[in-house]
Amino acid sequence: MVDISGSMFSDRKAARVKGLIERFIEDAQRHRDRISVVGFRGRDARVIIPSTAHASSFRDAVESIRVGGTTPMAQGIQRGLEILREEKRHGEYVPFMVILSDGMPNVGTGRDPKREAVEAASRLREEEIPSTVINFERGSRGGRDLNMEIALASGGSYYDLHDLRDPSGAVAKIMEHERAMF
Report the length, in residues, of the chain.
182
pLDDT of 122-161, one tens digit each? 999 999 999 999 998 776 577 899 999 999 999 999 998 7
- Output the pLDDT for position 78: 96
Domains detected in the chain = 2-181 (3.40.50.410)
- Output the pLDDT for position 140: 59
Give me the residues of the chain with pLDDT under 70, please: 10-11, 139-140, 163-165, 167
Please state, in angstroms and as integers, the Cα–Cα distance from residue 157 to each residue in 74, 85, 105, 122, 132, following that order: 18, 20, 19, 13, 5
